[in-house]
Amino acid sequence: MNTPAAPPSHLLRGALFIIGSELMFSLMGASIRVLSHELDNTMIVFARNLVGLGLLLALTASSGVRHLATAVPHLHLLRGAAGLGAMYCFFYAIANMPLANAMLLKLTAPLFIPLVALAWLGERFNWQVPAALAVGFSGVALILVPDFAQMAPVAVIALLGGVLAAVAKVTVRRLARTEPTTRTVFYFAAIGSAVSAIPLIWTWQTPSPAMLAWILALGVLATSGQLLLTRGMACAPAARLGPFAFFSVVFGALLGWLFWDEVLYWSTIAGTALVLVSGIIVSGARRRTGDTRAVAVRESGGL
């Protein structure tokens, strides 16, 4: 079964939304790096969700509570749990490895989508998918070459975040069929704020005024990125938009070089290319399959 291709205008609009969202997420990554010098990861995750929730409450105030009523609370809960777990993993990676590498490992989520689809939807994939996954994870290995001993443990946590993000991606596109953007992002922030507050019983730190300013910036950037991402994924199939997410690696490399003198190794560039090619092959293989369940997976991008 083939679905109609998105009109060029919709694809262009979706691509611009995705590129804009990745710029916001890269700037958010830089904010996390600054905050991690003084605050624990649990504090940063909670602050990101709480500020985002406050912004979304302001955005939805004029619509009233009825605007937040949903017929699919189970999907919001699943997206919230998976997305929050991925957030903990990625924030830790951003604080402990070069920014470009962390941004790239964040983008391994599409490589896990076929595996999530197999476990969740029972979707079978053709021979191209395992081959593409081998290429993609070879790219991940190349990224770790310059400092394997130090980065490997952090990379494992980042890859776990990729698995959780894949689950969230399968959920977001489904939510986009019936849920407006602000409602989807609101529930993510609400669930994230409530759950991430629990560890603060043991890890609370009072932020300095400077850190409060960075926390506000983090929340604004993260919420802007989520809104742009959700809008983008509603414009066209995730398989067509996925490659544009790799702009975050470019933005991350530039920010890391400008502010932390991070070096972009050739092995990182080569690894990025392999992961990008792998993601395109995996997406293309899903688009060509005739199984209707594959269509559901193809229409399920975005964290």
Q: Give the residue extent of every domain in the chain.
A: 8-298
- Tell me the pLDDT band of 275, cut-offs 50, 70 and 90: confident
Mean pLDDT of 132-137: 83
Task: Name the percent of the chain lying above pLDDT 90.
Answer: 33
**What integer pLDDT is reported at residue 293 of this predicted model?**
36
**CA-to-CA distance for 114 and 130, rounded, in angstroms?**
9
Whether residue 291 is predicted with pLDDT greater than 60 in this model: the reply is no
Q: What is the pLDDT of residue 29?
A: 94
* 185 vs 217: CA distance, rounded Å: 18
> Which range is least confidently modeled, 16-30, 107-121, 203-217?
107-121
Provide mean pLDDT across the span 122-137. 76
Q: Who contacts 255 (Cβ-Cβ below 8 Å, separation ≥6)?
A: 26, 27, 29, 30, 99
Q: What is the dihedral of CA 303, 166, 48, 187, to 10 degrees?
A: 60
Q: Which of 70-74, 110-114, 281-285 has the highest mean pLDDT?
A: 70-74
User: Tokens at residue 217, please?
Assistant: 């910036």
Q: At residue 189, does pLDDT exceed 50?
A: yes
pLDDT of residue 302: 38
Output the pLDDT for position 32.
96
At residue 299, the pLDDT reads 37
Tell me: the pLDDT tens digits for 199-246?
999 999 999 999 999 999 998 898 888 788 878 878 877 667 777 877
User: pLDDT class for 149, splitting at 50, 70, 90?
Assistant: low
